[in-house]
């Protein structure tokens, strides 16, 4: 749509309703046929069948039109949303003249601020209940499981639930939800939605693909669920990513995460932290008297004797793994080691920030470059009064420049020179 605004900017000025019509035909159709019919109707309405850019857009419609992506989960995100949000965040802290050291320090501040905001939002979610719009059990369930941000979106969907009128097409199988009060009604906007029902499994599938596309139940499915007496939110319609405990695994206590299976560096750090705390407590208790000291020392020696065979077994496994990783390449034997040695990167010869072309800017982003006018000749050019060609020519011809006779001054200088020689 951004490129469309650039290419069709002149048409937007001539046709005031073109922008809204183009947005409607792109975002509202639920099926491919509805999109293609709406596109043809828009071109016919505004007489734009021969527009080159609209032709190119329609030829590549499978790559950008939402009608072709219904049923795929996008969580209401665009392809460039995350990168653009990060760019905006970096621009607040970093400029093109920022040094590497300052850049690294500010990146740490950015990460810390992100974690701080997330922690503040988690605290609000856990300790504050957002206000309810109604007393529907569906809304109560949503407030209990969803985060504050997701619940605010769900609440708006629940409000739209009141606009639909349900018609039964096939009992307990197929229903039609007709929308009456829609102020943004267009002739290609769907007037009704079809909801397929599997009552025993509590499955409600709407042709708008709201749950498949956004991850939240659409108001049309909720309307049919309410008619069937389902007043609580089914568990299979609650995505883990929208819940309050979505980060529960990350935010578990260190002593719990230390028991996870694996040998990654992070797990080793968690285990070391847990054992150091226990060892510090053990040292404090064992140093009280001789009896406690002897007990702790004996138990530690016994633990060391039990752990040493485990370490030897681990070393033997690693050596066997190295032996099996020997590969023959082009008649040569290459040992593939498990441990990767990290070295310092090569030192770059160039210092400072390289001068490279800036990113390509559109015509809208480009600011007009103002020319400079010479105060002597009055022409807009790259020279000034000191380097003005016309002024130099006038000086050579002996004309007056700024009210002074250049030729007369030169004659006086010549006379003074002759008198000095005399």
Residue whose entry in the numeric block shows the structure tokens 């310092």: 344
Token readout for 230 is 């389902």
Number of domains, the chain: 5
Q: What is the predicted pLDDT for the residue at 349?
A: 65
Q: Residue 44 in contact with residue 402, Cβ under 8 Å? A: no
109 domain-assigned: yes
Token readout for 257 is 């995460």
Which long-range contacts (C-beta less than 8 Å, at least 24 apart) are formed by 364-371?
364/5, 364/6, 364/9
165 domain-assigned: yes
Q: Residue 295 in contact with residue 286, Cβ under 8 Å? A: yes
237 and 177 in a common domain: yes
357 domain-assigned: no
285 and 221 in a common domain: no
226 and 261 in a common domain: no
87 and 64 in a common domain: no
- CB count within 10 Å of CB 376 equals 19
43 and 21 in a common domain: yes
164 and 259 in a common domain: no
Q: What is the predicted pLDDT for the residue at 44?
A: 85
421 domain-assigned: no
Q: Residue 173 in contact with residue 196, Cβ under 8 Å? A: yes
39 and 13 in a common domain: yes
Distance separating alpha carbons of residues 208 and 315, to the nearest angstrom: 58
Q: What is the predicted pLDDT for the residue at 414?
A: 46
86 and 63 in a common domain: no
Q: What is the predicted pLDDT for the residue at 112?
A: 80
Domain of residue 223 covers: 137-242
Which residues have CB under 8 Å from 21's CB, separation 6+? 42, 45, 46, 186
Strands annotated E in 99-184 = 164-170, 174-179
Q: Which domain-ending residue is among 297, 314, 331? A: 314
363 domain-assigned: no
319 domain-assigned: no
85 and 163 in a common domain: no
Q: Residue 377 in contact with residue 388, Cβ under 8 Å? A: yes
149 and 223 in a common domain: yes
Q: What is the predicted pLDDT for the residue at 271?
A: 78
Q: What is the predicted pLDDT for the residue at 313?
A: 76
304 and 260 in a common domain: yes
Q: Residue 364 in contact with residue 10, Cβ under 8 Å? A: no
337 domain-assigned: no
215 and 304 in a common domain: no
Tens digit of each residue's pLDDT, the chain (422 residues):
667 777 777 777 788 888 888 888 887 778 888 888 888 888 888 888 888 888 888 888 887 888 887 777 777 666 655 666 777 777 777 777 888 888 888 888 888 888 788 878 877 877 788 888 888 888 888 888 898 888 988 988 888 777 778 888 888 889 988 876 555 544 445 578 888 998 888 889 888 888 888 888 888 888 888 888 888 888 888 888 888 877 655 555 555 555 656 666 667 777 787 788 888 888 888 888 888 889 988 988 888 888 888 777 777 766 665 555 544 434 444 444 445 556 777 766 665 565 665 666 665 566 556 677 888 888 888 788 888 888 888 887 766 555 554 444 444 444 444 444 44
338 domain-assigned: no
């Amino acid at each position: 749509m951004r490129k469309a605004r650039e290419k069709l900017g002149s048409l937007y000025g001539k046709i005031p309703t073109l922008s809204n019509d183009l947005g409607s035909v792109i975002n509202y159709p639920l099926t491919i046929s509805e999109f293609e019919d709406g596109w043809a109707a828009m071109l016919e309405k505004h007489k734009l069948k021969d527009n080159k850019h609209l032709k190119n857009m329609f030829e590549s419609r499978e790559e950008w039109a939402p009608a072709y992506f219904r049923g795929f989960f996008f969580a209401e995100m665009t392809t460039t949303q995350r990168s653009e949000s990060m760019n905006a965040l970096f621009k607040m802290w970093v400029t093109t003249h920022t040094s590497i050291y300052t850049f690294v320090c500010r990146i740490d501040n950015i990460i810390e601020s992100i974690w701080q905001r997330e922690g503040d939002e988690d605290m609000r979610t856990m300790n504050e209940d957002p206000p309810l719009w109604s007393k529907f059990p569906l809304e109560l369930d949503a407030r209990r499981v969803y985060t504050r941000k997701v619940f605010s979106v769900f609440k708006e969907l629940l409000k739209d639930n009141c606009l639909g009128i349900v018609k039964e097409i096939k009992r307990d199988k197929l229903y039609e939800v007709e929308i009456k009060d829609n102020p943004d009604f267009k002739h290609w906007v769907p007037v009704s939605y079809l909801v397929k029902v599997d009552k025993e499994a509590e499955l409600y599938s709407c042709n708008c693909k709201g749950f498949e596309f956004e991850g939240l139940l659409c108001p049309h499915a909720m309307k049919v669920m309410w008619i069937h007496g389902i007043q609580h939110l089914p568990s299979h319609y609650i995505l883990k990513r929208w819940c309050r405990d979505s980060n529960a695994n990350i935010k578990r206590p260190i002593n719990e995460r230390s028991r996870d299976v694996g040998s990654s560096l992070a797990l080793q750090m968690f285990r070391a932290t847990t054992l150091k705390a226990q060892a510090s407590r053990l040292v404090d208790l064992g140093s009280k008297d001789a009896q406690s000291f002897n007990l702790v020392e004996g138990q530690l020696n016994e633990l060391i004797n039990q752990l040493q065979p485990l370490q030897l077994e681990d070393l033997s496994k690693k050596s066997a793994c190295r032996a099996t990783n020997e590969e023959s390449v082009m008649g040569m034997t290459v040992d593939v080691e498990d441990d990767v040695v990290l070295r310092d990167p090569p030192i770059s010869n160039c210092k400072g920030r390289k001068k490279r072309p800036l990113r390509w800017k559109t015509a809208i982003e480009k600011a007009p470059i103002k020319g400079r006018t010479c105060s002597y000749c009055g022409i807009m050019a790259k020279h000034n009064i000191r380097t003005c060609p016309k002024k130099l020519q006038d000086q050579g011809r002996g004309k007056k420049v700024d009210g002074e006779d250049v030729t007369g001054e030169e004659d006086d200088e010549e006379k003074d020179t002759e008198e000095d020689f005399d």
